[in-house]
Amino acid sequence: METLLILIPLLLACGVVAGLLAGMLGVGGGIVIVPMLYHVFIHVGVDPAVVMPLAVGTSLATIVVTASMSSRSHHARGNVDVPLLRRWIPAVLVGVVVGTALGSILPGETLRVLFGAFMALIATHMLLTAGRSVALTDTLPGKWGQRGAATGIGGLAALLGVGGGTLVVPYLNFFNFPIHRAVGSSAVLGLVVAIPASIGYILSGWGAAGLPAGSTGYVNWLAFGLIVPMTMLFAPLGVRLCQRLDVTRLRRAFAVLLVAVGIKMLFF
């Protein structure tokens, strides 16, 4: 009971922070939820061997809900590039299968280090590109170049529990892809990643020792049930705050925070 009393407010706070940051900065998914879940689970004494895959699998399950809602909203506004999705989805799914398989067999410590390095790279990208254009060219690579990128994105997203947007939007920005269509298409791709990957983490963690109560494989439904409503409730507030605050400075501040958290996950 004491552990539950600690866990519930921590998970609610995780959902609040994830929702606010998603609304203000257009980030979210695993880049926020995975490290928060990692530290929450460690704090309440979950077996370290299962903490990282549990955080990744639970994050992917939350993305199923949030990406579904976001996809519908962007599709209604015409922000989804259907031809791009037709080219990318098969390759993304191949990557998801590989990434989920790796995530189920790699030691938790290895996943932690990989995620820490990933956070540091994403943060560096945010610092360098805040408030400036980063387009390298005005056209996307050819068919095989796009398929290779989509496979890699699907694999990393499934392995680290970050959905699609954290990787898809920066990639498309390099090719001067319209930002609204990049964000809308990434929401759909996040859903394409999250559904099979979360199922994969449930199956691969089925019966694993050391899982906390309320878990099915590597998805914890208590965390899911507390995070998702808070994220949905506070994301619109984040959008409103975005209109009043200096987003460039916020992105830089958030990037510095990501660097600090990434370094902590890498070395501690």
Domain range annotation of the chain:
51-221+251-267
What local confidence, expressed as pLDDT, does residue 70 receive?
78
Total residue length of the chain:
268
Average pLDDT over residues 97-111: 91
- Given a contact cutoff of 8 angstroms between Cβ atoms, the answer to whether 232 and 190 are in contact is no
What is the pLDDT averaged over residues 131-148? 80
Provide the mean pLDDT of the chain. Answer: 85
User: How distant, in Å, are the alpha carbons of 29, 73, 198, 232, 233 from that of 236?
Assistant: 15, 13, 26, 8, 7
Q: Please say if the pLDDT value at position 97 is more than 90.
A: yes
Please give the Cα distance from 15 to 197 (Å, whole number).
Answer: 21
Q: Give tens-digit pLDDT for 156-215.
A: 999 999 876 778 888 888 888 887 788 788 888 988 999 999 999 999 999 899 898 889
- Average pLDDT score over residue span 245-250: 72
Task: Please tell me which residue, 223 or 66, carries the higher pLDDT value.
Answer: 223
pTM above 0.85, yes or no: yes
> In whole angstroms, what is the distance from residue 168 CA to residue 56 CA?
18
Which amino acid is present at 173? Answer: N
Whether 96 contacts 242, CB under 8 Å: no
Confidence at 133, pLDDT banded by 50, 70, 90 = low
Quick one: how far is CA 122 from the chain centroid?
A: 12
Question: For residue 267, how many other CB atoms are within 10 A of its CB?
Answer: 8
Q: Which two tokens stand for residue 168?
A: 């898809």
Q: What is the signed CA dihedral for 30, 165, 88, 203, rounded to 10 degrees? A: 20
CA distance 259 to 98: 27
Residue 139 is given by DSSP the state S
Planar angle of CA 251, 63, 2, nearest 5 degrees: 95
Give yes or no for residue 2 having a pLDDT over 60. Answer: no
Phi, psi (deg, nearest 5) at residue 219: -125, 125
Backbone φ, ψ for residue 188 (5° rounding): -65, -45
What is the spatial distance between Cα 212 and Cα 37, in angstroms, rounded to a whole number? 13
How far apart (Å, rounded) are the C-alpha atoms in residues 74 and 85? 14
Residue 55, pLDDT above cutoff 70: yes
